[in-house]
Amino acid sequence: MKSRHTSFAPRLLLRAAVWAAFMLCLQPASAWAASVNVNCTAVAPPPGVFTSITAALATLDNTGTHTVTVTGPCTESVNIIQRDRLTIQAPVGQPATISPPAPGPTVVNINGSHNITLRNLVLSV
């Protein structure tokens, strides 16, 4: 008589994979990496394009990896607080300028954050 010994390893691996896929689906979309665009000079930007860096950051969770691509001069003070893995950049060959709304305030304030990259930006005071 043949023994019907089957391994539980394949079933266990399948259950683990199904569970992992299920848990991944429960993650909010904002928890995944995102790329957003900002055009500070746009009067009526197309859907999905923001008119300020602050508005774009408000749509992202605090733990990226996120990329914000900025076009045009922006007049605002940007606060990057308790964020991880964030890049704010201008398109290649098109530096973007960020200046405060009034003389004196900080242009970009980074506090309690890690892995923040500012690329191809001109910060004006």
74 occurs within a structural domain: yes
Q: In a 3-state reduction of DSSP, which class is residue 67?
A: strand
Please give the tally of structural domains in the chain: 1
Contact 96, 71 (CB under 8 A): yes
88 occurs within a structural domain: yes
Quote the domain boundaries for residue 59.
29-123
The pTM of this model reads 0.72
pLDDT at 24: 47
5 occurs within a structural domain: no
1 occurs within a structural domain: no
> What's the pLDDT tens digit per position in 55-78?
999 999 999 899 999 998 999 999
Residues in the chain with pLDDT values less than 70: 1-32
Structure tokens at 77: 């003070």
114 occurs within a structural domain: yes
pLDDT at 30: 44
Q: Could you write out the DSSP letters of every residue in 84-123?
A: EEEEEEPPTT--EEEE-SSSSS-SEEEES-EEEEEESEEE
Q: In whole angstroms, give the CA distance from residue 116 to residue 55.
A: 18
10 occurs within a structural domain: no
11 occurs within a structural domain: no
19 occurs within a structural domain: no
